[in-house]
Amino acid sequence: MAKNTLSITDNRTGKTYEVAVTDDTIKALDLRPIKVNDADFGLLAYDPAFTNTASCRSAITFIDGDNGVLWYRGYPIEQLAEKSTFLEIAHLLLHGELPTQAECEQWIYEITHHTFLHENVKKLVEGFRYDAHPMGMLVSTLAALSTFYPEAKEVRDPEVRRKQIFRLIAKTPTLAAFAYRHSRGLPFIQPDNDLSYAGNFLNMLFRMSEPRYEPNPALEKALDVLFILHADHEQNCSANAMRSVGSSLADPYCSAAAAAAALYGPLHGGANEAVLRMLNEIGSLKNVPKFIEKVKTGEGTRLMGFGHRIYKNYDPRAKIIKQIADRVFEVSGRNPLLDIALELERIALQDDYFVKRKLYPNVDFYSGIIYQAMGFPVEMFPVLFAIGRMPGWLAQWQEMLLDAEQKIARPRQVYIGHARRDYVPLEKRGSAPQPERKTARAAT
Ligand code: CMC
């Protein structure tokens, strides 16, 4: 009978080792006994950017990148986007199950009643320059919330965690809206707790002199679906940041700020902003082939919104976004950038360069076009991603804290610096011969 083990022969010594295979993985620590001699530290797995390393066991999100499949807690994203709501999804990600009617009402009540910010947060936001990027403001104010809720550091206490989870899901849109209003020189708008989560966010962003803001139902629904599509995506760069910082037992505000900082980058959540800038730069349909050629030579930019570490097929979220685009355009009018995006996709999907590398549109390719049609400025795009992703970050953080196998995240390295050398006094520097660089591995 076949055994669930892996035999490894070390050709340096001729010794063979048998390592257990569980869930198609081996434990990197099982490589440690593989040594050349007793003084040897033992074999390490080298995996920059974790391209083939599972850092945890997780029951939250499943992705089959080859077949373009995404499930939250087992439910296909297509069904959730069509039938569910963002707050229900937040409950699903954090609790593992869709809420019952009573649970759902309580959950929504709790989140809705934590939307207000301490008045001092306004002063913090006002301290930013008029042209500060809202994502920079969001990262900073998320971290600042830590100082308002010092009890949040009791991360091992489930009741304390619960409270901070409500606060973070509830207050992130308020922080985001305040950042937007500040950059527009507009007065802050307080939350309207009679509106839905997405509806209230639109209220805090766009309300002007009207006594009561009435969100457009089509835009409110589209935004709720966009939040659902962004709610979690297993061990991506920002979830990894959330887990990594959280593993030091930092409070969730600081961990969420770290996650938001990771999301800010153009290869991650900043990609939707980069897509819009790219589409504007291309400017018209006739420039698309030339742009594609520039991408292929590698001298220009990448085709932003294309490619994914995990998906080697069409991102299922991008398909859903394309469908909701029409509903948004009925209200807002068609965004002319859509034609450029469609042409880019058409050419890229037939081009050998993209086909060979399995590069398909990802979630960010069409989201920016919709956000723009809904009236959001480009700088707000990654902020919208962060609001949607908050329940996912919190679910990943909580799962990490409850996982007995997890410890403070602390990777190993292969040291390639200088061998030991003695300090050279200033007056003798420049003439002292430098010892050759030598590869050595840190041994503890
Ligand atoms: N345009 C052109 N070439 C690309 C692109 C692209 N968008 N993405 C990857 N490639 C090429 C890359 O040059 C490399 O080619 P070669 O083998 O000749 O060197 C090959 O495809 C593999 O790329 P990689 O960088 O090794 O792949 P990765 O898994 O490290 O990167 C990625 C994944 C998402 C960072 C990358 O595809 C990318 O930079 N895409 C554009 C930015 C983007 O849209 N990011 C949003 C990701 S989805 C939202 C999220 O989860 O954050």
Question: 93-111, pLDDT tens digit by residue?
Answer: 999 999 999 999 999 999 9
- How are beta strands 15-20 and 69-72 bridged, if at all? unpaired
Q: What is the mean pLDDT of residues 241-257?
A: 98
Give the integer Cα–Cα distance in Å for 320 and 342.
15
Closest C-alpha residue for ligand 1 atom 18:
357
Q: What is the mean pLDDT of residues 201-218?
A: 96
Q: What is the pLDDT at residue 220?
A: 97
Of 395, 391, 398, nearest to 158 by C-alpha is: 398
Give the integer Cα–Cα distance in Å for 316 and 323.
11
* Residue 383 parent element (H or E): helix 381-402
Of 241, 274, 249, 240, nearest to 362 by C-alpha is: 274
Residue 165, pLDDT > 90, answer yes
| Amino acid code (one letter) for 107 | W
Helix/strand/coil percentages in the chain, nearest 5: 55, 5, 40
Q: What is the mean pLDDT of residues 47-74?
A: 97
Ligand 1 nearest-atom number relative to CA 306: 7
Residue 369, pLDDT > 60, answer yes
- 23 carries an active-site annotation: no
Radius of gyration of the chain, Cα coordinates, nearest whole angstrom: 25
Residue 431, pLDDT > 70, answer no
Ligand 1 nearest-atom number relative to CA 49: 30
Ligand 1 nearest-atom number relative to CA 263: 52
Residue 443, pLDDT > 60, answer no
Residue 145, pLDDT > 70, answer yes
Q: What is the pLDDT at residue 155?
A: 98
Q: What is the pLDDT at residue 433?
A: 60
- 268 carries an active-site annotation: yes
Angle subtended by helix axes 381-402 and 237-246, to nearest 10 = 50
Tokens of 279: 């589409």
Q: What is the pLDDT at residue 435?
A: 58
Residue 140, pLDDT > 60, answer yes
Q: Which residues line ligand 1 (CB under 6 A)?
A: 233, 236, 267-269, 271, 295, 302-309, 357, 359, 362-364
Of 57, 66, 73, nearest to 228 by C-alpha is: 73
Residue 78 CA to ligand 1 center (angstroms) comes to 25
**Sequence-ordered alpha helix ranges (H) in 185-234:** 197-206, 217-230
Tokens of 304: 């932003």
What's CA 277's distance to the chain center, in Å? 20
Residue 308 CA to ligand 1 center (angstroms) comes to 6
How many helical (H) and strand (E) elements, i.e. helices and strands, does the chain have? 17, 5
Q: State what percent of residues in the chain have pLDDT above 90.
A: 90
18-27 pLDDT tens trace: 999 999 999 9
Residue 187: band (very low, low, confident or very high) from pLDDT cuts 50, 70, 90:
very high
311-349 pLDDT tens trace: 999 899 999 998 898 889 999 988 889 999 999 999 999
Give the integer Cα–Cα distance in Å for 265 and 254.
18
Residue 306 CA to ligand 1 center (angstroms) comes to 7
Q: What is the pLDDT at residue 432?
A: 55
Provide the 3-class DSSP secondary structure of residue 22: strand
Give the integer Cα–Cα distance in Å for 93 and 391.
7
Residue 247 CA to ligand 1 center (angstroms) comes to 28
Mean pLDDT of the chain: 94
Give the integer Cα–Cα distance in Å for 275 and 372.
11
Are the CB atoms for 363 and 315 separated by under 8 Å?
A: yes
Residue 358 CA to ligand 1 center (angstroms) comes to 10
Ligand 1 nearest-atom number relative to CA 305: 44
Closest C-alpha residue for ligand 1 atom 40:
307
Q: What is the pLDDT at residue 353?
A: 96
Give the sheet arrangement for strand 61-64, strand by strand.
61-64, 69-72, 75-76
Of 368, 386, 143, 380, nearest to 263 by C-alpha is: 386
Residue 181 CA to ligand 1 center (angstroms) comes to 34
Q: What is the mean pLDDT of residues 390-408?
A: 98
DSSP 424: -
Closest C-alpha residue for ligand 1 atom 52:
268
Residue 434, pLDDT > 70, answer no
Closest C-alpha residue for ligand 1 atom 29:
309
- 308 carries an active-site annotation: yes
Of these residues, 268, 339, 351, 403, which one is catalytic? 268
Q: What is the pLDDT at residue 218?
A: 94
Give the integer Cα–Cα distance in Å for 353 and 351.
6
